[in-house]
């Protein structure tokens, strides 16, 4: 492995890409520590520490944890990068869905690079109003929690400055991501999210150390047994994430033979890989985003009618991640897994492409029979992928309740953040591997020249 790291810096082009990517990420982390003027940073930090140590499972606490994944850290301070890259991600998701609904956008996407660049330009324009809306919501939340200095709470200049600063911060992060895409290594937006998630890990290590000092008998206390179990669980869950991310259902494809003159071409047997977790991290993002609203709505209604027993029961179930919350979240993950697969996976178009290239699935006629078969296979393997996403979503809460451990610590054992880290890390390893093997260097997962080794391959089911 150390030899592979050395090989990375022996290739000038790869070395420049890696160093440029690291430099852009350093700029992002430096800007994260630039505070937003007019915000009471002392109260902000005190409230964040209270939520972190108390393991707040309320709707507001879950919203803060969810936003922290895309904003680059916890809510210990409000900075010019307070929105993170979340508005741009929302705009990208909206245009991905619109591409499958509007024929004009679908036609434009099929035009090639020119069409995709046009859609990308519209995505940037759509990011600006989303930034303004989320900036107003974020500043309103801070005012309601008395996190803004009293002299600035009703100042129009502060609101204008705050909205412009948060919007400019998000647009700057979007530009950083595009620079990494063009001159660096990997997907820029994904790397920015990855760096924000990884930056939270040292604070969790210090939190574990603090709770070890409280003793194992107190609520939320940590002992050696709990720490070893958490480490083993983390390794096991990461291993499972890698397997399910790389898992594929390989369908045999036979090429038709073509005779040209006296030579025969084709007739080769290949495989069509279908990912088990085709939706990736999107189903769990959609499900967890929508599951924030029932808790907030029920909490507001329970505050208006505190004597209502029914509202109190549902409020406790949906605010403390109770049984009903878990069941509803599982149902939502399954729904969005099939929904996203239906949106992204087009079996009819794939069957037509196989027919146009002279390929077919043995035993099936090209056209509708092939499309129906591909759709049937994808529906079956999506069930397995959705089940895995449900397990990943439930594991942090289950371990937190079982061991009486802070939910902030167990959040690294599953959920959206872990899936993003694993998928982005695998993508980076594959990109570096491809650059090394292209220049006859041994990669991370393959032997050197003349040595036996294995490259990353999808696990077959």
**What is residue 347's predicted lDDT score, i.e. its pLDDT?**
87
Pairing of strands 258-260, 359-360: unpaired
> Range with the lowest mean pLDDT among 29-38, 76-85, 301-310, 348-357?
76-85
Mean pLDDT calculated for residue range 177-183: 89
Q: Evaluate if residue 267 carries a pLDDT over 70.
A: no
**What is residue 460's predicted lDDT score, i.e. its pLDDT?**
47
DSSP, res 79: B
Q: Which of 207, 237, 235 is nearest to 414 (CA)?
A: 237
Q: 23 is in which domain, residue-wise?
A: 1-199
Q: Which two tokens stand for residue 24?
A: 């852009």
Residue 424 domain flag: no
Q: Evaluate if residue 461 carries a pLDDT over 50.
A: no
**What is residue 452's predicted lDDT score, i.e. its pLDDT?**
47
Q: Evaluate if residue 374 carries a pLDDT over 60.
A: yes
**CATH number of the CATH domain containing 35:** 1.10.3370.10
Residue 54 domain flag: yes
**What is residue 125's predicted lDDT score, i.e. its pLDDT?**
92
Report the chain's terminal Cα–Cα distance, integer Å: 29
- The answer to whether residues 410 and 234 touch, using CB atoms and an 8 Å cutoff, is no
- Average pLDDT value over all residues in the chain: 79
**Residue 441 neighbours by CB under 8 Å, 6+ apart:** 4, 7, 10, 11, 448, 449
> Range with the lowest mean pLDDT among 87-91, 92-96, 384-388, 436-440?
436-440
Residue 278 domain flag: no
Residue 233: CA atoms inside 13 Å, Cβ hemisphere, count?
21
Q: What is the band of 451 on the pLDDT scale with cuts at 50, 70, 90?
A: very low
**Which tens digits make up the pLDDT trace of 152-164?**
877 888 889 889 9
Residue 450 domain flag: no
Give the bridge partners for 79, in sequence order: 35
**What is residue 61's predicted lDDT score, i.e. its pLDDT?**
59
Alpha helices in 112-187 (DSSP H): 113-144, 156-183
Mean pLDDT calculated for residue range 125-130: 91
Residue 403 domain flag: no
For the chain, give the number of residues. Answer: 461
- The answer to whether residues 303 and 409 touch, using CB atoms and an 8 Å cutoff, is no
Q: Which two tokens stand for residue 182?
A: 């063009």
Cα 39 to Cα 54: distance, rounded to the nearest angstrom: 23
**What is residue 213's predicted lDDT score, i.e. its pLDDT?**
62
- Work out the burial of residue 424: count CB atoms within 10 Å of its CB; fewer than 13 is exposed, 13-18 middle, 19 or more buried: buried
Q: What is the band of 73 on the pLDDT scale with cuts at 50, 70, 90?
A: low
Q: What is the band of 20 on the pLDDT scale with cuts at 50, 70, 90?
A: very high
Angle at 229 between CA 319 and CA 195, to 5 degrees: 65
**What is residue 1's predicted lDDT score, i.e. its pLDDT?**
63
Domain count, the chain: 1
Mean pLDDT calculated for residue range 421-443: 78
Rg (CA), the chain: 25
Residue 427 domain flag: no
More confident residue, 231 or 129: 129
Q: Evaluate if residue 215 carries a pLDDT over 70.
A: no
pTM to 2 decimals? 0.78
More confident residue, 458 or 98: 98
**What is residue 74's predicted lDDT score, i.e. its pLDDT?**
46
- The answer to whether residues 409 and 230 touch, using CB atoms and an 8 Å cutoff, is yes
Mean pLDDT calculated for residue range 47-67: 59
Residue 321 domain flag: no
Q: Evaluate if residue 209 carries a pLDDT over 50.
A: yes
Residue 68 domain flag: yes
């Amino acid at each position: 492995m150390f030899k592979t790291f050395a090989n990375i810096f022996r290739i000038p082009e790869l070395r420049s890409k890696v160093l440029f990517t690291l430099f852009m990420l350093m700029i992002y982390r430096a800007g994260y520590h630039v505070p937003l003027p007019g915000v009471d940073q002392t109260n902000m930090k005190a409230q964040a520490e209270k939520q972190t140590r108390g393991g707040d499972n309320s709707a507001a606490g879950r919203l803060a944890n969810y936003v922290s994944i895309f904003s680059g850290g916890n809510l210990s301070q409000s900075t010019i990068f307070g929105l993170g890259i979340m508005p741009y991600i929302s705009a990208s998701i909206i245009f991905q869905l619109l591409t499958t609904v509007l024929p004009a956008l679908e036609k434009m996407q099929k035009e090639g690079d020119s069409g995709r660049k046009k859609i990308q330009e519209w995505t940037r324009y759509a990011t600006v109003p989303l930034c303004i809306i989320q900036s107003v919501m974020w500043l309103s939340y801070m005012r309601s929690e008395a996190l803004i200095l009293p002299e600035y709470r009703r100042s129009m200049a502060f609101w204008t400055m705050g909205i412009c600063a948060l919007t400019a911060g998000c647009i700057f992060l979007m530009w950083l991501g595009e620079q990494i895409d063009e001159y660096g290594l990997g997907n820029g937006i994904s790397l920015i999210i990855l760096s924000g998630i990884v930056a939270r890990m040292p604070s969790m290590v210090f939190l574990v150390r603090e709770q070890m000092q409280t003793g194992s008998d107190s609520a939320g206390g940590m002992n050696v047994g709990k720490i070893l179990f958490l480490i083993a669980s983390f390794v096991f869950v990461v291993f499972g994430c890698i397997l399910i991310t790389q898992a594929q259902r390989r369908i045999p494809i036979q090429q038709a033979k073509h005779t040209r003159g006296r030579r025969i071409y084709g007739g080769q047997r290949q495989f069509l890989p279908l990912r088990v977790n085709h939706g990736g991290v999107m189903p769990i993002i959609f499900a967890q985003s929508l599951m924030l609203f029932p808790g907030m709505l029920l909490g507001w209604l329970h505050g208006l009618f505190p004597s209502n027993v029914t509202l109190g029961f549902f409020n406790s179930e949906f605010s403390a991640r109770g049984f009903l919350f878990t069941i509803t979240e599982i149902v939502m993950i399954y729904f969005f897994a099939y929904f996203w697969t239906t949106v992204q996976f087009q079996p009819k178009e794939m069957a037509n492409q196989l027919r146009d290239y002279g390929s077919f699935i043995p035993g099936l006629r090209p056209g509708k029979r092939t499309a129906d078969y591909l759709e049937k296979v994808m529906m079956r393997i999506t069930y397995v992928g959705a089940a895995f996403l449900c397990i990943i979503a439930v594991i942090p809460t289950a371990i937190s309740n079982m061991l009486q451990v802070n939910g902030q610590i167990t959040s690294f054992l599953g959920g959206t953040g872990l899936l993003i880290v694993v998928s982005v890390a695998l993508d980076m390893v594959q990109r570096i591997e491809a650059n090394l093997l292209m220049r006859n260097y041994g990669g991370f997962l393959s032997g050197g020249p003349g040595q036996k080794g294995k490259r990353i391959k999808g696990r077959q089911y």
